[in-house]
Structure 1
């Protein structure tokens, strides 16, 4: 994996942004936009996916980043559940939920793979670089 300089370069963040845009599109094109409580929950959970990726990246340590990726992954599951609620209330159609859930499932898989990579990586994060130099015998 090449060196990533900013969170915007992460594929998992880019896909999370796409999910947010897709959810926003639902608000404007379906009755879901008028169900303010469910809309608010979906707005927050979809935003949480990308925001936690960004925040974890900013922590400069793999262990903390891994934790924030876990939060993002959980927000994906939360959003999937909310989509079922919207479907059950007949605020969205079956085709819309299938499309979105396939994107969300892809994000869950990509986040999981990235978490696995971080667990196996020898590089533990930028904030540990100076500690390693200082602790050399």
Structure 2
């Protein structure tokens, strides 16, 4: 692995920002009162960064690849739940757009990391 620590991964750094922003919006107004949706989207956001960290720390490209797949799926879960939050009026269109942009960026970074690991695995490196 090219990074010394999982904290050096750009995907993990951006996932951390996403988790922080999800917590910020879910602690406000009507969103805070909806414990079901707020808890679910918080868990999904935390899952992204947690799976990137856990997969990295396992030290094997095959396991890291598996965990990046889980992280990317959790990112899709966050995006899906953002639509629900928008549709029920918990987020303004601007908040939704900003969070969706960030979630999409995390998804692209995580997907790129997963693709890099896949190439590495195919080449036997």
Tell me if TM exceeds 0.5. Answer: yes
CA distance in 1, matches of 2:59, 2:108: 23
CA distance in structure 1 between the partners assigned to 2:116 and 2:45 by the alignment: 24
Counterpart for residue 70 of structure 1? 69
Of the structure 1 ranges 77-86 and 27-36, higher mean CA displacement relative to structure 2 is found in 27-36
- Deviation track 1:53-91 (CA, whole Å, cap 9, x = no partner) reads 011011111111011000000001101111111111111
Distance 1:19 1:43 in 2: 10
Indicate the RMSD between aligned Cα atoms, in angstroms: 1.5
Gaps of 5+ in 2: none
Residues 74-113 of structure 1 mapped to structure 2, 5 A cutoff: 74-113=73-112
Larger radius of gyration: 1
Q: How high is the TM-score relative to the length of structure 1? A: 0.84
Superposition TM-score, scaled by structure 2 size: 0.92
* Distance in 1 separating the partners of 2:28 and 2:36: 17
| Offset at residue 120 of structure 1 (A) | 1.8
Q: 1:72-117 CA deviation, whole Å, 9 max, x = no partner?
A: 0000110111111111111111111111111111111111111111
Structure 1 residue 44 corresponds to structure 2 residue 35? no
Q: How many residues align?
A: 123
* CA positional deviation for 1:30: 3.6
Q: CA deviation at 1:123?
A: 7.0
